[in-house]
Each structure stands twice: as C-alpha cells, then as structure tokens.
Structure 1
Amino acid sequence: MTDQTTSADPVHAPARTPMRIRARGRSFLALVLSPEAPLDHWLEGLDNQIARSVGFFAGRPVILDLGLVSQDDAGLETLQADLTERGIHMIGIEGASPDWPALAHWVWPAVLDGGRASGTIDFPDGQDDELAASPVAPQRAESLILDRAIRSGQSIMHLDGDIVVTGSVASGAELIAGGSIHVYGALRGRAIAGVGGQPGARIFVARMQAELLAIDGFYMIAEEIDADLHDQSAQALLNEDRVTVTKLP
C-alpha cells in the first residue's frame, strides 16, 4: 500500500510568514502631588484648592510623591483612599516603599492609562549592535504656531518647544507646552508651560483672562491673579517655586 499524505499534514504545510508586530508611542502629562505633614491639614488645603478649581484633577493622571512625609505620619495609612474619594487618579507612587507598615494595604499602580497617542515606534532588528549603540543627534526644539483661535474644549499639547497662538484661547480650552506659551489674543482658558522640567519657561499673553496658569508643575488659578492685571498684557513666570504674573511694558 502506498502512503498518502493529505494537504492538512503539518509536515508538508507551507511555512507561515511571521506576523509583523506593531507598536505606538504614548506620552503622558502627569501632575505630581507632594503631601506634607500634618496630612489632615494638607487634605484641607487640597479640598480648598479643588473647590476653587473645580474639575482641575478630572481625568488627569497624578504621580504621588511621598518624599516629604515619613512612614509614621498620622493619616498616611488612609491617604490613598482619601485621594481616591476626591477623584484623583494615581498612575504612580514615588518617594516611599511598599514595605512601610502604613502602606501595607495600598494598591500600587502598575498600569498607565489615559495617555496621549504619539508616533510609531520601530523595534530594533538586533542585526547591527554598533548602530544601535551609536548616539543619536538631539533634535532642535520647534515652535508650534497656530494661526487661529482655540475653541472651548480643545486641548493643544506640544512638548517639544513653544506654543504660539495668534488668536484667542477660549474658556475651557487648554495649551500644554514643553517650552513657553505665547498668546497674541485673549487667554481665557488654561496655559501649562515648562512641562518636563523647564522652570525658565514663561507664558506671554496679550489679554490676561486665564482660568489657570502653570509652569513646571506649579500653578495659579484665576482668583489668585491680581485683578489689576485682568484683560491686560502680562506674563507669567516662576519665581522661587511660585507662579508670578506681571504686566508687560
């Protein structure tokens, strides 16, 4: 009898081409909260801030930096739950160890959610180790120039340089820049500059009506801006870890 092999025989099945694996970059703009003792007083201050800037933490990833507290501080055991009740979404915890007894029941974040999509990332093929190890020339920071008004609800993020808007920025809109921000119209929304550790960044506005100003993680809300500067040409800069707004000449 002659042996017969069917087309389903795996020995003679055609080789399958390996599937291409695709990956995309995802960048995150996270706020860093640094609690201080006494924690009950710090939470009161946080509640006051939330009341004055409703929705500021909504949907924003937060990194909790516990570097200013000790493992014996009262209220540390329940701090994570207290923040969760206030709608604060933690994507990371730093400045402390899970071995601290007060943190034994904490949930330590392991997944980053809510990032902003960026470009495609190519996997290295491993065929040229020397090329992979060679230094990459740094790219020059480019300004993002927008020749239009920014409507309410829009969020413009540019982490590689300055943002320049020749029109106005409506209430409820948001600008997020790695460098400085320039608005040649009225700024009625939020401007967040110096993201990624650039304390020298500034915010220049032709007509200051901002809901929120932030530089390198330090921020100021509308109620804290001098009333004499309302609708005036002004700049915001960081001075000794405080956002300061001054009138432009």
Structure 2
Amino acid sequence: MTIRARGRSFLALILSPEAPLKDWLAGLDEHMRRAAGFFNHQPVILDLSLLDERTEGLAGFQQELRRRHIHLIGIEGGNPHWKALESWEWPIELQGGRPSGPVKLPDDDSPKSVPPAVTLKTPLIIDRAVRSGQSIKYPDGDIIVLGAVSSGAEIIAGGSIHIYGPLRGRAIAGVSGYPQARIFTTKMEAELLAIDGFYMIAEEMPNAPSGRASQVYLENERLKVIPLQTGTIKT
C-alpha cells in the first residue's frame, strides 16, 4: 500500500491581545459587531507575547474567545507552564509559517536595512461569480474574479484583488505583508474592505463611490476608496 501525503499552505489571522484583557475584549466585541461574521470559519493564531502570567483574566481568556466563536489553530508567545494557563487546551504547535505584516524597526543607531520584498506568484483567476458563503483564499499573489462577488462571500489575496463585476461581499488584499496591494471592482457595494490588516466596513464608507467602478488603496494607514476612472494610479 502506498501512503500519500500532500502539503497544504494556509492563511491564518493573528490576534495579539493586550492588557487589560477586559478592555481588549470589549474592543473586539465592537469590531465583531461592526464586521459581523469576520471571524467565521477563519483559523486564528493567538499571540500572547504582549501578556505575562500575572495578566488579570488570562485563565478564562481562551473560553472568552470560544464564546465568540473564534477558532484557534495555534498559540504562540506564551508558556504552557504558566499557572493561569493550566486549564487551557493547547493546539498542536505550528512550524514553518511564513510571517507577514508589521516588522520591528531597527534602532536609530543600528545599520539601516531594506526589508525583503514580497514575492508574488502568478495570479489566481476565478472565471465565475463567487456566491454567498464561498471563500477564495490565495496568499501567494493577486486574485482576478471574472464575475460578481456576492454578499456573504469573501476574497482573500496576498496581493491585489481585481473584480470584473459587482463587489458586494468582502475583499481582503495584501495579507502577505504587501501594503501596496489594491482592490479594483467595476461596481463598489462592498461589505468589508481590507489591505495589509487595515480595514473598513460599509458603514465607514459614506463618501465612497457606491455603485461605481472603484479602486481601494492604503495611504497613511487608512483605506482610500475613489472612483476608478478619475483615480491616479500610484506606483
């Protein structure tokens, strides 16, 4: 008998809670209220590096996350031998993940270095509409959708997202640490937009060109949504 094994890459969100946990959870609840379903079926890695074993509320923190239907596939930055973590269930430790997102800047007196460039692969082309409840994830490059993205659907790309149709669901670009990523659609009706970890929901887009061809880009850690035909493409 031949035993077959295949590798599979995955995309996970990283949550880094800060003390006091009560306030952090309140902030999380507000984000979840404004972006309902954002964590649905999303694998999450919990980073405890900003906490210590004396952090108030740490013992029951895992249960608080479960109560919010946040699915942990990994825990890092903490010590299982901390007394507050004795009752926690620890997932299998993950190795070899590709980090993305913010990095620690060097000190002023240290040698200046250029951060490594993000290498993106060939775009993933979806030659159909993406229906409600579907999730397309491609952390290695751009995603091109030749059709609509329905409400309740999501597109998650390491690079940019190009939608040749109405965007009514969620578009999350630049997840591989690529703030230059953009989101393009021929009809902007999005539930949620995100680039490199910065996001906005529909209620935060009062001045967005709703129903028009649009592009989205990141500027000074804020998302800009402008009409596509009048926008200036930046390089």
Q: CA deviation at 1:166?
A: 3.2
Q: CA deviation at 1:88?
A: 0.8
Q: Which stretches in structure 1 are left out of the alignment for 5+ residues?
A: 1-18, 113-138
Percent identity between the two aligned chains:
60
Go from structure 1 to structure 2 and tell me whether the alpha carbon gap of 1:68 and 1:111 turns closer, same or farther (over 3 Å shift).
closer
Go from structure 1 to structure 2 and tell me whether the alpha carbon gap of 1:82 and 1:32 turns closer, same or farther (over 3 Å shift).
same
Equivalent runs, 1:62-101 vs 2, <5 Å:
62-101=44-83
Is 1:220 matched with 2:220? no
Report the TM-score when normalising by structure 2: 0.77
CA distance in 2 between counterparts of 1:228 and 1:140 reads 29
CA distance in 2 between counterparts of 1:72 and 1:243 reads 37
Equivalent runs, 1:1-249 vs 2, <5 Å:
19-110=1-92, 141-248=121-228, 249=230
Go from structure 1 to structure 2 and tell me whether the alpha carbon gap of 1:212 and 1:20 turns closer, same or farther (over 3 Å shift).
same
What amino acid sits opposite 1:189 in the alignment? G
Query: What's 1:8 paired with?
Result: none
Offset from partner CA, 1:105-126 (integer Å, 9 cap, x none): 22211178xxxxxxxxxxxxxx
The structure with the larger Rg is 1
> Which segment drifts farther, 63-72 or 31-40?
63-72
Q: CA deviation at 1:144?
A: 2.2
CA distance in 2 between counterparts of 1:157 and 1:109 reads 23
What amino acid sits opposite 1:64 in the alignment? L
Instruction: Tell me if the contact between 2:183 and 2:217 (Cα under 8 Å) persists in the aligned partners.
Output: yes
What amino acid sits opposite 1:105 in the alignment? S
State the Cα RMSD in Å.
2.3
CA distance in 2 between counterparts of 1:193 and 1:242 reads 14
What amino acid sits opposite 2:182 in the alignment? R
What amino acid sits opposite 1:73 in the alignment? T
Go from structure 1 to structure 2 and tell me whether the alpha carbon gap of 1:140 and 1:211 turns closer, same or farther (over 3 Å shift).
closer
The number of residue pairs the alignment matches comes to 205
Query: What's 1:6 paired with?
Result: none
Query: What's 2:102 paired with?
Result: none
> Which segment drifts farther, 186-195 or 234-243?
234-243
Q: Which stretches in structure 2 are left out of the alignment for 5+ residues?
A: 95-118, 231-235
CA distance in 2 between counterparts of 1:102 and 1:243 reads 39
CA distance in 2 between counterparts of 1:198 and 1:89 reads 25
Instruction: Tell me if the contact between 2:120 and 2:158 (Cα under 8 Å) persists in the aligned partners.
Output: no
Q: CA deviation at 1:140?
A: 7.1
